[in-house]
């Protein structure tokens, strides 16, 4: 029997409260760049380990640091004066039975591939400097990792999530994805930050969007692009809600002084904005100060037994499925103990606001997901789950 505790707290759901704040750092934000690189390295190492030894070996690549470079953007042109510096660190299995695994080469190649695939305005050969300092994993964690059967947790930690998303949360998440994915404006880079505020029924989105200098002829063109972006985003949001959503883009611009969010590469990482893994979005892609959150970085941790990764993803899956049964709000918290099987958490806490008639169903859902917790490993390898 798993230690699953269900509660039905008497509290007001977030959407019925007066104020709500939500944030998302887009994929081009320096913190998110580090998250994406860390996760891509973990996947690359996992696949290499599987190919060589038919199992994923111990690693955690969640220590990626970005030091902003230098740039001189100007309309119709621009140049990088100092490359973006990226340090890849963490721990990995580098030797197995006297066979050396080229962890450093794999990590650098994975980082370069990730940057090339996601940032079309970054020249991987001249705009970025990548250094690798991955070390060999500690012996005690490698021992815990090596246990057969259901993996034992390599940390005493917890994962937290909730469902469903509020309208404000959904608008923040989907707006960033739309801007960087389907909006189709080359003038707009990948460094997008969306901050949503709801004051009773009024929702305001404040958006910082890195504009790409080579695609903009002059200040009028810049202003026009901001206007087009605003119009397209309003049309997109109209497909989600009929509520009036106020949109503000690049409010820090000062047209008279020529101070604009203008970049060469589409990210503020080019001119001094630094980044670190785990300093941005949580595993559901959002920063939600009105919700419970874990400070644990999810991206880059090994997908086999690091509960800092698995439990944050798993708690989200559990919450989403229980919410699908009709719960108004679900909060899930999973707590592990180092060295104990990951399918037997010390505590699986589920809080439900809404119909108490789904208690048995909620317990069954929680138990079933814990039973198949190892499925999350393959989801991570396939890149089908959100980690930031």
- The pair of structure tokens assigned to 287 is 């920063």
Asked whether residue 344 is assigned to any structural domain, the reply reads no
Which of these, 265, 241, 112, 99, lies nearest to 171 by C-alpha position? 241
Mean pLDDT in residue range 121-141:
86
Asked whether residue 231 is assigned to any structural domain, the reply reads yes
Question: What global pTM score does this model have?
Answer: 0.95
- As for how many domains the chain has, the answer is 1
**Residue 228 belongs to what domain range?**
14-24+168-266
pLDDT at residue 59 greater than cutoff 60 = yes
Q: What is the pLDDT of residue 147?
A: 57
Specify the residue for token string 């119709």.
76
Q: What is the pLDDT of residue 272?
A: 82
Q: For residue 164, is the peptide bond before it cis, meaning its omega torsion is within 30 degrees of 0? A: yes
- The pair of structure tokens assigned to 319 is 């919450």
Q: For 302-357, write each residue's pLDDT tens digit.
A: 999 999 999 999 999 999 999 999 999 999 999 999 999 999 999 999 999 998 99
Asked whether residue 195 is assigned to any structural domain, the reply reads yes
Backbone dihedral region of 339: left (phi > 0), alpha (psi from -120 to 50 degrees) or beta? left
pLDDT interval class at 141 (50, 70, 90)? low
Asked whether residue 384 is assigned to any structural domain, the reply reads no
Asked whether residue 260 is assigned to any structural domain, the reply reads yes
Asked whether residue 238 is assigned to any structural domain, the reply reads yes
Q: Kind of pairing, strands 84-92 and 128-136?
A: parallel
Asked whether residue 258 is assigned to any structural domain, the reply reads yes
pLDDT interval class at 143 (50, 70, 90)? low
Asked whether residue 348 is assigned to any structural domain, the reply reads no
Instruction: Kindly report the CATH number assigned to the domain that includes residue 211.
Output: 3.30.300.340
């Amino acid at each position: 029997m798993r230690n699953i505790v269900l509660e039905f707290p008497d509290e007001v759901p977030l959407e019925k409260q007066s104020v709500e704040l939500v944030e998302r750092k887009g994929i081009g934000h320096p913190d998110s760049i580090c998250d994406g690189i860390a996760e891509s390295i973990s996947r690359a190492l996992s696949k290499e380990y599987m190919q060589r030894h038919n199992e994923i070996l111990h690693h955690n690549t969640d220590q990626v640091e970005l030091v902003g470079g230098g740039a001189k953007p100007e309309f119709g042109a621009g140049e990088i004066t100092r490359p973006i510096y990226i340090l890849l660190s963490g721990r990995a299995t580098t030797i197995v039975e006297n066979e050396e695994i080229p962890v450093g080469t794999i990590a650098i190649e994975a980082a370069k591939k990730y940057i090339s695939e996601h940032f079309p305005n970054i020249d991987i050969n001249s705009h970025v400097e990548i250094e690798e300092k991955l070390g060999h994993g500690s012996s005690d964690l490698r021992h815990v990792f090596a246990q057969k059967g259901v993996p034992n947790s390599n940390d005493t930690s917890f994962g937290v999530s909730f469902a469903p998303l509020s309208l404000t949360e959904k608008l923040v998440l989907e707006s960033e994805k739309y801007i960087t994915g389907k909006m189709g404006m080359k003038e707009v880079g990948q460094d997008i930050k969306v901050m949503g505020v709801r004051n009773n029924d009024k929702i305001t989105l404040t958006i910082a969007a890195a504009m790409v200098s080579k695609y903009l002829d002059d200040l009028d063109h810049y202003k026009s692009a901001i206007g087009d972006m605003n119009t397209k985003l309003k049309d997109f949001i109209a497909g989600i809600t009929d509520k009036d959503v106020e949109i503000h883009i690049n409010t820090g611009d000062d047209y008279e002084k020529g101070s604009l969010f203008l970049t060469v590469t589409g990210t503020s990482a080019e001119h001094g904005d630094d980044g670190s893994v785990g300093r941005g979005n949580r595993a559901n892609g959002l920063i939600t100060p009105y919700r419970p959150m874990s400070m644990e970085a999810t991206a880059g941790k090994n997908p086999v037994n690091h509960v800092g990764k698995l439990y944050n993803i798993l708690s989200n899956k559990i919450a989403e499925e229980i919410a699908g049964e009709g719960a108004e709000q679900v909060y899930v918290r999973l707590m592990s103990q180092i060295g104990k099987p990951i399918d037997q958490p010390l505590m699986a806490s589920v809080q439900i606001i809404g119909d108490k008639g789904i208690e048995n169903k909620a317990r069954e859902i929680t138990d079933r997901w814990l039973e198949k917790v190892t499925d999350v490993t393959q989801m991570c390898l396939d890149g089908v789950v959100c980690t930031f």
